[in-house]
């Protein structure tokens, strides 16, 4: 744990004792640890797509991918905004990754099963991608809702509107919800809406940005450790 308040001070004392009803999880680098480098497979597919689409060498395609991500929240959103590109072809291609080497995470499944209340996925990816990841890790059955980039009308976190759409579609009360994210800046709006927030640590600078802000209530090295601490209270 970091210098932020321990989980019990915000997430548990202020929320669980009053009845947390909903737990909201980002997908990539949150459900599975960032150190697994699983998302690198998606990132490589993005580079390949841009190489083919714009006839660029790999280094230039990777640079464009990264710039669009940092400027627009997702590479796809940047391609739509700057090049008028549709989303379907891109999303289908980049999320078609090999998961044959992924084994079910039995501990994560047990922890999620023991967590009271509803569980949701809120991702800048797609439902299909989430289904594949959750299925590979053996935890799909624990989630009541998967809210994706299509449902957010292609506007990604950390913009405010996707969160408003998520709350409207799920009907959850933000004051009784907790959100887990690997990108610290994506916790700003949940904090403003009254949710408890937990940053799942990530070593990359773009994920760390904002991690020292007040909207990050707590942080943990990985989701399994975080849930073990919550359930031990």
What pLDDT does residue 214 have? 92
Asked if residue 5 has pLDDT above 60, the reply is no
pTM given for the model: 0.90
What pLDDT does residue 231 have? 84
Provide the pLDDT confidence category of residue 2 given band limits of 50, 70 and 90. very low
Sign of dihedral through CA atoms 193, 165, 15, 31?
A: negative
Provide the pLDDT confidence category of residue 185 given band limits of 50, 70 and 90. very high
What pLDDT does residue 6 have? 45
Q: Which of 140, 127, 120, 126 is nearest to 195 (CA)?
A: 120
**Distance, CA of 3 to CA of 74 (rounded, Å):** 29
Specify the DSSP class assigned to residue 173. -
Provide the pLDDT confidence category of residue 17 given band limits of 50, 70 and 90. low
Domains of the chain in sequence order: 7-35+104-232 (3.40.50.1000), 39-94 (1.10.150)
Tokens of 156: 């990604």
Tokens of 111: 């922890």
What pLDDT does residue 206 have? 81
Tokens of 47: 């580079």
Helices (H), the chain: 7, 39-54, 58-72, 75-83, 88-94, 106-114, 127-137, 160-170, 188-193, 205-208, 223-232
Q: What is the mean pLDDT of the chain?
A: 90
Provide the pLDDT confidence category of residue 22 given band limits of 50, 70 and 90. very high
Q: What is the mean pLDDT of residues 23-33?
A: 95
Tell me the per-residue pLDDT of 78-117, one tens digit each, with 9 for 90 and over: 999 999 998 999 999 999 999 999 999 999 999 999 998 9
Provide the pLDDT confidence category of residue 35 given band limits of 50, 70 and 90. confident
What pLDDT does residue 20 have? 87
Other CB atoms within 10 A of residue 126 CB: 22
pLDDT above 70 covers a percentage of the chain that reads: 92
Tell me the per-residue pLDDT of 112-161, one tens digit each, with 9 for 90 and over: 999 989 999 999 999 999 999 999 999 999 998 999 999 999 999 999 99
What pLDDT does residue 15 have? 53
Provide the pLDDT confidence category of residue 37 given band limits of 50, 70 and 90. confident
Cβ-contact 124, 74 below 8 angstroms:
yes
Terminal Cα distance for the chain, rounded:
16
Residues 6+ positions from 105 with CB-CB distance below 8 Å: 32, 137, 138, 139, 224
């Amino acid at each position: 744990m970091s210098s932020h308040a321990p989980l019990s001070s915000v997430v548990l004392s202020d929320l669980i004792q009053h009845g947390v009803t909903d737990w909201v999880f980002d997908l990539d680098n949150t459900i599975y640890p960032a150190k697994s480098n699983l998302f690198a497979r998606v990132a490589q597919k993005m580079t390949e797509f841009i190489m083919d689409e714009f006839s660029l060498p790999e280094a230039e395609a990777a640079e464009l991918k990264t710039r669009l991500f940092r400027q627009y929240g997702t590479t796809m959103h940047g391609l739509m905004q700057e090049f008028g590109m549709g989303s379907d072809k891109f999303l289908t291609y980049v999320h078609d990754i090999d998961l044959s080497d992924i084994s079910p995470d039995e501990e994560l499944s047990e922890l999620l099963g023991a967590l009271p209340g509803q569980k949701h996925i809120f991702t800048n990816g797609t439902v299909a991608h989430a289904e594949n990841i959750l299925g590979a890790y053996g935890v799909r059955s624990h989630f009541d809702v998967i809210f994706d980039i299509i449902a957010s009308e292609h506007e990604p976190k950390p913009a405010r509107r996707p969160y408003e759409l998520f709350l409207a579609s799920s009907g959850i009360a933000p004051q009784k919800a907790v959100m887990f994210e690997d990108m610290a800046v994506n916790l700003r709006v949940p904090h403003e809406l009254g949710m408890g927030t937990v940053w799942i640590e990530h070593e990359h600078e773009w994920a760390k940005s904002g991690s020292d802000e007040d909207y990050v209530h707590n942080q943990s090295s990985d989701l399994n450790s975080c849930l073990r601490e919550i359930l031990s209270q």
